[in-house]
Amino acid sequence: MDRRKLIEEVKYYFAESDHWRRLCAALQDPDPEGTHMHAYVETSVHPDSLEAIMKGYFKKKGWPSRRKIDHMAPKAGMGSLHGVEPKGKPHFDYQWFFNQEVGLRACEGGESGCNLLIWNRWYINQFNSQFPFRRVKSKEEKALRDYFKSDHFLKGLEFPVMPTTNHLHINVHTSVHPNAITKFAKEALDREGFKIYYVCPNVYLVGGKYRGKLVFMGKKPEVVFDIGWLFTPDVVIEPAWETWIFEAHPGYDVWSSDMLADVMKADYVRLDQEEISEILKACK
């Protein structure tokens, strides 16, 4: 599309659009470490330029970016600025579909028919309330400690630091509350030398239905990885060897750099610093 028209469309999106305003409103959740969001847009702007605009916008608001933003492809044909986290605010994923006729605008639909999804602590508590989690006594504590020393978990920790990995899920069956998993996982990560900012309980789509997960916001190494869990009443916790999303690594779902490379083959428009500054100047 015409470059001037593209700039005006991007400017309108960040300065005036309902979609961006709703996203920023949701960022005001009083429990940022218990909240996560997905936003969906169409764009022809290069993700590096979108990232620069977002970081500039949040800095202008007094919410400078807290951590690095990962680029990944959650699925074929869709990219994501993954783990965007303004200081003191919830982290979110900004999912895009390339459209050469569009500068930047919200999608019609996106996920579950919505272009902006918000999961907060209330949602997660309601989601978890459907499961009769077992109480954690000495038997369950032993099973949890054993799992977090197991080959399945320890091998899972190798994936996030690989240069070919954009994101990782370690998949388990369990009948204990995710809070218990979080407690023992944090102990194991500390033992293995992983430092994390916090753990965010969340859900994600598997086969059209939401499933539980725990999002580990890594500090050192600065990576984001998840433990996906499926309630299974007859086990405390064990690896889920069956395929959930990808078949390549049984027991895990790994989003690779090759998937992102396919998304990045499109003819994106990179904005220069003057154009980015013009867009930011329009934002109040």
Average pLDDT, the chain: 97
pLDDT tens per residue across span 73-102: 999 999 999 999 999 999 999 999 999 999
For 147, the enclosing helix (H) or strand (E) is helix 138-147
Instruction: Kindly state the DSSP code that residue 27 receives in the 8-state scheme.
Output: T
107-110 own/partner pairs: CB under 8 Å, 24+ apart: 107/40, 107/41, 107/42, 109/40, 110/38, 110/39, 110/40
**For residue 235, what pLDDT is reported?**
98
E-only strand ranges, 15-157:
36-43, 70-75, 78-84, 91-98, 104-106, 116-119
**For residue 205, what pLDDT is reported?**
97
Mean pLDDT in residue range 240-247: 98
- Phi, psi dihedral angles at 18 (to 5 degrees): -65, -40
Give yes or no for residue 10 having a pLDDT over 90.
yes
Give yes or no for residue 53 having a pLDDT over 90.
yes
**For residue 198, what pLDDT is reported?**
97
Q: Give dist(CA 67, CA 163) in Å, integer.
A: 18
pLDDT tens per residue across span 172-222: 999 999 999 999 999 999 999 999 999 999 999 999 999 999 999 999 999
Give yes or no for residue 170 having a pLDDT over 90.
yes
* CA dist list (Å): 26 to 89, 91, 138, 159: 9, 11, 40, 32
Residue 120 identity (one-letter amino acid): N
Question: For residue 23, what pLDDT band results from cuts at 50, 70 and 90?
Answer: very high
Model pTM?
Answer: 0.96
Give yes or no for residue 154 having a pLDDT over 90.
yes
3-state secondary structure of 42: strand
Q: Give dist(CA 159, CA 125) in Å, integer.
A: 30
**For residue 1, what pLDDT is reported?**
87
